[in-house]
Structure 1
Amino acid sequence: MQVTAAVARAADAPFTIETVELEDPRADEILVRVVGVGLCHTDLVFKAAGVIALPAVFGHEGSGIVEKVGANVTKVKQGDRVAITFRSCGACDRCEKGQPAYCRTMPMLNYIGMRPDGTKAIQAGEEKIAGNFFGQSSLATHCLTYERNVVKVPEGVPLELVGPLGCGVQTGAGGIMRSLACEAGSSVLILGGGAVGLSAVMGAVVQGCKTIIVLEPHEARRALALELGATHAIDPAAAPDLGAAVRAILPNGVDYAFDTTGIPAVLQATMACLGSHGVFGIVGVCPPGTPVPGDLSSVITYGHTIKGIIEGDSDPDVFIPEMIELYRQGRLPFDKLIRTYPLSEINQAIADQHHGDCVKVVLLTGQ
């Protein structure tokens, strides 16, 4: 079938909006009519990095309506409303333990730009286009996905906005609620006030954290962090010594830190903010070769833990419904982060997000 997609043709060039051909779903696949798709920094990182050979269709925070299912699909049916998340196998030891973000076949199922058998489901004329990104490639009006990727969305929840629950919001909120499991009354330093960082703020509020400190250069995002429940918002330009700034608030340091920036200098500076037995969770994408932050002697002396985190350690079938219920209760207002654009304005949306004019972009397909 013919669909409209945002195609990445060169690492340093804008996306182009094109009509492409999408195959019918195979026995294990689901065809979803996309109504909204979050624009995640990871899409842009993969576009620039050359990990997946271009041209490619990215997008991994889709939401929409099931139009067709393969013969082996039983989880959803035509007409179901779904959020789409990352893909996992469901059969390895990690998946069986409820840790699908650490699926043994995670790279093959999500990051190679094609199905595991080497076929590509998208083409323009005779040209094959990389897809299957996170098992969806949802920067398009339609995408193919799988049972392990989809979670049903109840009526009464804005379907076009829930895609970010599948990655960005899940990573931030899950990082605090699942990975770090911050307890009520604890303190947390959140580095970066983008969509993931502000989702972490909301997660910290849900957990009952007493002190929630956010480091963020954009004034509007600092204000939003405070509106969402942060107790303190630090401008890095006004606080060149992060450790001193944090310890001016909490002399004994923080119980937890959560990095979304991936900036090596910020990672290193954060170690001076941790109190004894503090835990530092990291989700930010760091440059290749970035050393693990801290000094081993200090890590041992103070009992620090440095923890890498993928997708907030979430099991989407469990955590996405939990987030939806928190949203319905008014306790996870992730919609406050979102600005919508038509898919055709993807390049303007990227520029606005990079400039700090918006926090989280959701692209609407208009169909």
Structure 2
Amino acid sequence: MQIKAAVVHEVGGDFTIEDVELGDPQSGEVLVEIAAVGLCHTDLAAQHGHLPFPMPGVVGHEGAGVVKAVGEGVTKVAVGDKVALTFNTCGECPSCKKGEPAYCVNFMALNFGGVRPDGSSALSQGGTQLGANFFGQSSFATAAMANQRNVVKLPADADLALSAPLGCGIQTGAGAVMNSFDAQGGEALLVMGGGSVGLSGVLAAVARNLGTIIVVEPVAARRELAIELGATHAIDPAAGPVSEQVRAIIPAGVDYVLDTTANAAVLGEAFASIGYRGTIGLVGVPADPESVMAVPMIPAQVLGARVIGIVEGDSNLDEFIGELQALHAAGKFPYDRLISTRPFSELNQAIAAQAAGEAVKVVLTHN
């Protein structure tokens, strides 16, 4: 079938909306008509070559829509079901079998390889195969080929524009606090970066009744939003060393740091802000894949500090997205405050708006 998709032809190139061909679903695959797709930093990291992905190709990994066809063996969803799309996993490796799909041994190949396991692609243009299968979906398009393992069935009355960003950014920030840290009431959290991932962490911290929630963000409007969402403090990094500002608020240091920046200098301030047995969680994608974090060894030992990598908020896909929706329905996770919508045709403008701090989380919609 012919669809419209945002194709990136070369590293650093703009997205151009073009006609491409989408094949029929193979065994285990689910063809989804996309109604909405979130714009995530990971899409841009692939666009600019910070993450591996073959070009020309189609990215996009926070899709939501309606199932139009299923391949052989698909039992999880049926034609007509509303679904959210999330990251892809194999289901067979030790991590998947332990219920830790975010650490699937085959994660990189399945989410960034650009092809199916057999080397084929569901997308082509003029007879030439395109990079596809991004996060098992490539949903910067009017339709996408997903897999049974990375579709999550939604209620029939689900708002697809609100459901889309749950597939990555929202669940990553919230899951870091609720799953990876398992933060508890009264504890202290420092969030480095007030974008959609960081502010989702704030919302999760509020839901968990943390005592101190500090956000570090250079954009004033985002600091104001953080306070409105329940952060107890919002710091401007231009006002002085972040660790000194944090220690002025909580002299003993924080229990957790959620870093969304992947910036070595920022991480140095994060380390200087933690207290005894403090944990730093890394979710950001660095511009340089070879970037390293300097760990002050003596303070790390004295504090009993931990540094952990976090993928997708340690989400168990078929459960956690539903948990966040239930919290939202109960008024305890108002992530809709982060979202603004734009037509899919305005993808490049949406990227610019998000980069300028004019929007927190853009969701692109199809008419």
TM over 0.5: yes
> Could you tell me which residue of structure 2 aligns to residue 104 of structure 1?
105
The answer (yes or no) to whether the contact 2:87–2:135 under 8 Å persists in 1 is yes
Match in the other structure for 1:41? 41
CA distance in 1, matches of 2:366, 2:117: 28
Bigger mean CA deviation after superposition, 121-130 or 32-41: 121-130
**3-state SS of 1:148 partner:** helix
Structure 2 equivalent of residue 229 of structure 1: 230
1:77 is paired with a residue whose SS is coil
1:23 and 2:48 are equivalent in the alignment: no
Alignment correspondent of 1:242 = 242
Equivalence map 1:327-366=2 (5 Å): 327-366=328-367
Letter in 2 for 1:263: N
Structure 2, unaligned runs of 5 or more: none
What are the superposed Cα offsets for residues 157-204 of structure 1, whole Å, 9 maximum, x if unpaired?
311221111100010000000001111110000000000000000010
Deviation digits for residues 51-97 of structure 1 (CA, Å, limit 9, x no counterpart): 22211100000000001111210000000010100011112211111
Cα separation, 1, equivalents of 2:179 and 2:337: 22
Aligned partner of 1:5 in structure 2 is 5
1:130-141 to 2 correspondences below 5 Å: 130-141=131-142
Unaligned runs of 5+ in 1: none
Distance in 2, matches of 1:11 and 1:349, equals 19
Q: Equivalents in 2 of 1:85, 1:203: separation in Å?
A: 19
Map 1:53-72 to 2 at 5 A. Answer: 53-72=54-73
What SS is found at the alignment partner of 1:114?
A: coil
Please give the TM-score of this superposition, normalised by the length of structure 1: 0.98
Alpha-carbon shift at residue 147 of structure 1 (Å): 1.1
8 A contact 1:192–1:216 mirrored in 2: yes
**Offset at residue 363 of structure 1 (A):** 0.6
Match of 1:52 in 2: 53
Q: 1:294 offset after TM fit, Å?
A: 2.4
Amino acid at match of 1:24: D
SS of residue in 2 equivalent to 1:162 = helix
| Match in the other structure for 2:303 | 302
Contact 2:203 2:230 survives alignment (8 Å) = yes
Distance 2:13 2:112 in 1: 21
**Superposed displacement of residue 268, structure 1:** 1.0
Q: Per-residue CA shift, 1:295-352, capped at 9, x if unaligned? A: 1111111100111110001111110110010111111111111111111110100011
Q: Distance between the aligned counterparts of 1:292 and 1:262, measured in 2?
A: 9
Residue 32 of structure 2 corresponds to: 32
- Counterpart position of 2:82: 81
Q: Distance in 2 between matches of 1:327 and 1:155?
A: 16
What residue in structure 2 maps to residue 322 of structure 1?
323
**Partner residue, 2:265:** 265
2:180 and 2:128 map into 1 onto residues whose CA distance is 42
Match of 1:189 in 2: 190
Partners of 1:217 and 1:235 within 8 A in 2: yes
Residues 30-64 of structure 1 deviation map (CA, whole Å, 9 limit, x = unaligned): 00000000011101111111722211100000000
- Cα contact 1:271–1:293 (8 A) shared by 2: no
Secondary structure (helix, strand or coil) at the match of 1:212 reads strand
Superposition RMSD on alpha carbons, in Å? Answer: 1.0
AA aligned opposite 2:213 = I
> Once the two structures are superposed, what CA deviation does each residue of 1:217-248 show, in whole Å capped at 9, x if it has no partner?
11111111111110000011112x11110000
- Quote the offset at 1:292 in angstroms: 2.7
Q: Which digits, 9 at most, give the CA deviation of each residue in 1:89-147, with x for residues without a partner?
A: 11221111110000111111111111111111111112221100000000000000111
Aligned residues: 365
TM superposition outliers: structure 1 runs of 4+ over 6 Å? none
Residue pair 1:63, 1:162 contacting (<8 A) in 2 also: yes
Q: Determine the structure 1 residue equivalent to 2:275.
A: 275
Q: Please tell me whether the aligned partners of residues 82 and 158 of structure 2 are also in contact (alpha carbons under 8 angstroms).
A: no
Tell me the residue number matched to 1:167.
168
Contact 2:66 2:82 in 1 (8 A): yes
CA contact (8 A) 1:140 1:365 kept: no
8 Å contact 2:111–2:135 — kept in the other structure? Answer: yes
Question: 1:306, 1:312 → 2: CA distance?
Answer: 15
Identity, in percent, stands at 50
Asked if 1:113 corresponds to 2:114, the answer is yes
Amino acid at match of 2:270: T
Q: Hey, what's the Cα distance between the residues in 2 that align with 1:33 and 1:157?
A: 15
Residue 42 of structure 2 aligns to a residue in which SS?
helix
User: Separation in 1 of the partners of 2:214 and 2:231?
Assistant: 6
> Which residue in 2 is equivalent to 1:123?
124
- State how far apart, in whole Å, the 1-side matches of 2:347 and 2:10 are: 15
State the AA in 1 paired with 2:131: A
